Amino acid sequence: MATEITLPELGDGIESGDILEVFISVGDTVSEGDDIVEVETDKASVPVPATVSGTVVSVDVEPGQTVNIGAILITVEGGDTPAIETPAAEPEPTPAPEPTPAPEPTPAPEPTPAPEPTPAPKTPVP
């Protein structure tokens, strides 16, 4: 079964890119993750990897061409179709542990009043 590899989203606000270089030809074997083209946007030049493995049956872009996001770059035959991402099952929420009660504060002992100072005996000053 043939699988079309398209230009993925390259960033926020980027709607197209210019093909700088095509790294593969018809008849080449590509593996998932191999760079197939290099695209220049107004922000950067980025390689675009193959999303499937297989034999290239058509190359639909050439250097200098401007392509929109979602445009077909190449078609691959006999490769693995990309795995459809299924959301992971959400685990059952575990109940929060019961909070341990805060220990009752013990009242501070009442301060004992300081003893009244006793006046010094009066002695004549020489």
Contact call for residues 34 and 74 (beta carbons, < 8 A): no
Query: Cβ-count burial of 119 within 10 angstroms (0-12 exposed, 13-18 middle, 19+ buried)?
Result: exposed
Q: 2-77: which CATH number, 3.40.1280.10, 1.10.10.10, 2.40.50.100, 3.40.50.300?
A: 2.40.50.100
**Other Cβ atoms closer than 10 A to 38:** 17
pLDDT: which is higher, 105 or 8: 8
Share the mean pLDDT of the chain.
81
Q: What is the pLDDT of residue 64?
A: 95
Please report which residue ranges of the chain form alpha helices under DSSP H: none
Query: Which tens digits make up the pLDDT trace of 71-90?
Result: 999 999 985 544 433 344 44
Contact call for residues 79 and 3 (beta carbons, < 8 A): yes
Give the start-to-end residue ranges of the domains of the chain.
2-77
pTM score, whole prediction: 0.60
